[in-house]
Amino acid sequence: MGQALPPNGQFNTNAIIDFVTRTMASSDADEIMAYLREVSVGFGMDSFAIAGIPLPNEKIDPYVLLNDWPMDWFNHYAEQDYVHIDPVIFRTKTSNDGFVWSEALKNVRLSPAARTVMNEATEVDMRDGFSVPIQGINGLQAIVTFGAHKVELTREARSTLELIAVFAHHRLRMLREEERNMQYRKELRITKRELDLIQWCAAGKTNWEIGEILGLSHKTVQNELGKIQRKLNAVNRTQLIAESFRAGIIR
């Protein structure tokens, strides 16, 4: 078990450090979900989800990184494309700070469709919640959202939960990228000799030096590197090294 949180969710630096430490040590999304569940319960939250915000006419399903919502509610939400009429999502797109639903929507005139989303959420006891917008580079928008029967968070507690939420999203994005890179490496089928060539390139060795080290002719090294560049869609040695780091072939 991790660092215990105080019942009233007061600011707890140790809880943040503990969550970051445990999450960084894990490469399992289910473990991270368990850690975040501990945190959310400590702040009086009943469920949570982490997802990117899809573009118009896109489904939310591929954007979900972590889902602890009641499954029936999530399936219904996805099937009805509620993400495109959800007032919490709309508020998230225009905000940089975490917010409590009931406060943020208090004076907002909701459309009948938006009101339907909020009313149906109450049927699974998500009467209120706390959402953290993620505004990333290249227009990336995402949300970490917590649902609850009632939200009672101090200013300090909101800051704590927001920091934890942002890091949870960051870690899950890293894991998703690592999974993609692993699949990419499998598809590339980089051989042991190709890996050696890439590593010596990254070490700054010339073709002649690589040939001397690996017992290959200068021409063979040149030809082999050309094949690897084509595999990685690289036009020169510099791009080959950059693509190899990006794909996690070398670290």
Q: pLDDT for 8-23, tens place per residue?
A: 445 578 889 999 999 9
pLDDT score at 139: 75
DSSP for 56-103 reads TT--SGGGEEEE-S-HHHHHHHHHTTGGGT-HHHHHHHT-SS-EEHHH
Query: pLDDT tens digit string along 42-63?
Result: 999 999 999 999 999 899 999 9
CB-based contacts of 133, cutoff 8 Å, min separation 6: 92, 93, 95, 96, 97, 98, 141, 142, 143
pTM of the predicted model over 0.85: no
**200 Cβ contact partners less than 8 Å away, ≥ 6 residues apart:** 209, 210, 213, 214
* CA 154 – CA 8 distance, rounded (Å): 8
Amino acid 7: pLDDT: 43
* pLDDT surpasses 80 at 111: yes
Q: To the nearest whole percent, how much of the chain has pLDDT over 90?
A: 71
User: Alpha helices, DSSP H only, in the chain?
Assistant: 13-24, 29-42, 71-79, 87-93, 101-104, 112-122, 155-188, 192-202, 207-214, 218-231, 237-246
CATH match for 13-183 among 3.10.450.50, 3.40.50.620, 3.10.580.10, 3.30.450.80? 3.30.450.80
Dist CA 55 CA 141 (whole Å): 10
149-204 pLDDT, tens per residue? 999 999 999 999 999 999 999 999 888 888 877 777 777 788 889 889 999 999 99
Q: How confident is residue 147, by pLDDT bands cut at 50, 70 and 90?
A: very high
- For the range 136-140, what are the long-range contacts, defined as Cβ-Cβ under 8 Å and sequence gap of 24 or more? 140/52
- Inform me whether the pLDDT recorded for 122 exceeds 90: yes
Class of the CATH domain delimited by 189-246: mainly alpha
Which residues touch 22 (CB under 8 Å, ≥6 apart)?
Answer: 2, 35
- Domain residue spans in the chain? 13-183, 189-246
